[in-house]
Amino acid sequence: MTSPLLSLSAVAEGVVQTIPGAHSFPRLTLALMYRDASPVVKFILTGLFLAALAALVLLAVGMMLPPPARAKAARFLESLMLAAPIAAALGAAYGTVTIFIGIANTNVWNLAVAAPGIAEAILSVATGLATLLIAVIAYAVVRPRPAG
């Protein structure tokens, strides 16, 4: 018996690990959650991941940038610090809507119906908060400081 969160092809290919003694339900991983997420949530997660990657690059090379480039990097990071929580909230709202659509379509309330939306919402919020944290740390390194 497989979980409705996972595609049958993943189980057939042996990609999914099973938990010993747990009625052979497949173990859900972040990669499987991303693969099975809706296109909207995939778009949000990919954007947040790329933004976090850009912030990490700025964190790594921030001190080596000349002052005009550091000012531009700081503006980018300020924008990222504002946009990441909004994108995370959008993903969470979309995941919540997915929960209610699943319940409405099946006329049944159980965890199997709600789990995909819950997973999308939590993954979106976690990715947004991680992106925000990286941007805040990078901003602390890159921000222009008054001379003196």
Which stretch, 18-27, 107-116, 122-131, 138-147, has highest mean pLDDT? 122-131
Res. 20 pLDDT band, cuts 50 70 90: low
- Structural domain boundaries of the chain? 1-29, 37-142
pLDDT in tens, 77-116: 999 999 999 999 999 999 899 888 888 888 888 887 788 8
Rounded CA-CA distance 14/28 in Å is 13
Q: Please indicate, yes or no, whether the overall pTM of this predicted structure exceeds 0.95.
A: no
pLDDT in tens, 55-82: 999 999 988 988 889 999 999 999 999 9
